[in-house]
Amino acid sequence: MITDEKTEKKFRFAGEGARRSEQAFKGKSAGYFKDAFKRFGKNKGALVALVVIGIQLLFALLAPLFSSYTVDFRDPYYLKITPSLSFNREHGIPFWNGEITTEGGRAKFDLYDGIAREQALAGGKTKPRAPLKSYSASKDGKSYSMKLDGYYEVGYIYKDLTQEEYDALKAYQNKTGIQIVYPLQNNYQAVNANQWYVLSGEHQEIAEKLHKDKARYAGANKAEAVRDGEGNIRPDYKLHFSQNAFGYDSLKLDFSSTPFPEGQPMYAAPVKTAESSEKSYKLQKDGEGRLYYWYNDETGYAYRDEEYNWQKAEEGVSFSDVPGYYVYAFENQSGYRVRVCYYEYFKFLHGEYPSFLFGTNQYGQDIFTCLAVGARLSFLLAIGVSFVNLLIGAAYGAVAGYYGGKTDIVLQRIAEIISAVPFIVVATLFQLHIGNSAGPVVTLLFAFVLTGWIPTATRVRMQFYRYKNREYVLAARSLGARDKRIIVKHIFPSAIGGIITGAALSVPSVIFSESMLSYLGIVNFETSRFTSIGGMLAQGQSLIASSPHVIFFPALFIALLLIGFNLIGNGLRDAFNPALRGVEE
């Protein structure tokens, strides 16, 4: 025993290995998993990746719960809307505000300018929804560069409503004081819903003709608006002698400050009847004593108004003497045709104004919700497949590696035959034969499990060959331990590091394979209530130049996901490496 301090210093170990050996005698040995997690915690890249994966997992689990939309949601008018935050749009922040830039001629400028001018006539609590935020004209005034609010750009649309829907919409307007229904144009069958004005040149005449034929006028988008000397857009609304024609008793536009007030005499062109030679027509009585008159419209119906001055009508009033009021609805086969401000109508339908944090795709789906649902599917599928493959592969590899010999040869040949079939062929065959009945999720699960366990089995087999002849295993066998106990208690703990690392690395592999199959169209989630990241990437491929946000968010998400899982796998590999095992000081 060395007692002299100077002599003891001569026998001190030098170097890092000596320090660890000395600590091994002085300290307490750390547990295997505790030591592994301690080393994993020192890997900054793995920790950052773990945080990122955790955020993505929370996004996948919680985002659909708080989103106002579902995967089934599709809006035909808000297609490829750019990402926006409601706060940024409301406060004019020039970032993430749904703004789009476009160019066009005078006709396109009149279209967007007209939306704002018409909405300025709305009363009550209506807030003008002007799509045109700013613009600049060329030197010759023939072309314009315009910045638009993508949510207001839709403007107005035509809607066919049933009686119940029509009454509900009027009641909503009366309750909220928000104008949704706007007057119908004379040529609404032919022109765009945003063209409430008289068209320039020959366009007006063509629109009138096509309106009678119930045909859409494709060239109307090239027509400019007719304006008066002061620049006011001249309206082209349908007229009726009743102020509440077709039961419309709700909010109306205020034209008192314009040169186009209501109540002016209206004129109806001659209709093809036995009395077509006359230039004006008197109100008449039908067989039941009800008053009516003929009106030149596409329906040919006789319209009645119980609130009209009947005494004057019976004396004979020509159309030219009847004051006309703008029409806000019109009867058709389904009920009523109306023209609505779509931004306000969206709130009427869904209870809130449209807002798409990540924008929408070409089908009008909310990308934020679709990405969360697709990520949830990817996580559940990848984790579930990895767990099942871990169980199957661990059991298969353990038997092959522990017993060896003929057992190993037979099992390896079976694995080689299965692995020789390309995964994409397996997935395609499953999709063709059971895809329609089982659905895409079950189809993918079968395809992944059929071949996915082979890498895990190979890895476990190699680990068992490595450890099954170690001294502690031989000692356990000499003491009478059964094969099951030796496999579970003695060999698996030594091989667990490689197994866990392999399982972690298989998660991004499953996600990548699922995305690839969806991207190639082999598995289609459009027929189900699900969506996938791969499907979203495929949808956005053709829109990279025009609408890059459609592919940007799913591409960024899956890139972070794959990089993160690979960093975590590398961290686990180092953490469970027995050669790096330390001690607890």
Q: Is the pLDDT of residue 275 over 50?
A: no
pLDDT digits (tens, 9 = 90+) for 462-489: 888 888 888 888 888 888 888 888 888 8
The SS3 call for residue 524 is: coil
Q: How far apart are CA 357 and CA 365, in angstroms?
A: 12
pLDDT band at residue 491 under the 50/70/90 scheme:
confident
Neighbours of 55 (CB within 10 A): 12
Annotate 407-441 with DSSP letters as a single string.
Answer: HHHHHHHHHHHHHTS-HHHHHHHHHHHHHHHH-HH
Q: Is the pLDDT of residue 582 over 90?
A: no
Burial 223-252 (b: 16+ CB within 10 A, else e): bbbbeeeeeebebbbbbbbbbebbebebbb
The SS3 call for residue 222 is: helix
What does the mean pLDDT of the chain come to?
81
The SS3 call for residue 77 is: coil
Q: In what order do the strands lie in the sheet with 132-137?
A: 99-105, 143-149, 132-137
pLDDT band at residue 300 under the 50/70/90 scheme:
very low
Contact 281, 318 (CB under 8 A): yes
pLDDT band at residue 16 under the 50/70/90 scheme:
low
pLDDT digits (tens, 9 = 90+) for 190-232: 999 999 999 998 999 999 889 888 899 999 989 999 998 888 9
Terminal alpha carbon distance of the chain = 25
To 5 degrees, how large is the angle CA 290–CA 292–CA 294?
155
Q: How far apart are CA 390 and CA 410, in angstroms?
A: 21
Closest CA to 486 of 494, 477, 478: 477
Q: Which fold has domain 45-65+362-580?
A: MetI-like fold (1.10.3720)
Joined tokens for residue 240: 């009726």
Annotate 97-159 with DSSP letters as a single string.
Answer: B-EEEEEEEHHHHHHHHHHHHHHTT--TTPPP---EEEEEE-TTSSEEEEEEETTTTT-EEEE
Residue 551: C-alpha distances to residues 245, 527, 534, 548, 578 (Å): 49, 21, 10, 6, 43
- What does the pLDDT average to over 449-470? 86
Q: How far apart are CA 119 and CA 541, in angstroms?
A: 38
DSSP run (H or E) holding 37: helix 32-41
pLDDT of residue 224: 93
pLDDT digits (tens, 9 = 90+) for 36-48: 777 777 888 889 9
Q: How far apart are CA 553 and CA 450, in angstroms?
A: 32
pLDDT of residue 184: 94
Helix extents (H) in 272-404: 310-315, 342-350, 367-403
pLDDT of residue 114: 94
The ranges of the chain annotated as CATH 1.10.3720.10 are 45-65+362-580
pLDDT band at residue 581 under the 50/70/90 scheme:
low
Q: How far apart are CA 167 and CA 428, in angstroms?
A: 52
Contact 514, 532 (CB under 8 A): yes
Contact 105, 87 (CB under 8 A): no
Could you tell me which residues come within 8 angstroms of residue 347 by beta carbon, excluding any fewer than 6 positions away? 353
* Strand residue runs (E) in 48-108: 99-105
pLDDT band at residue 12 under the 50/70/90 scheme:
low
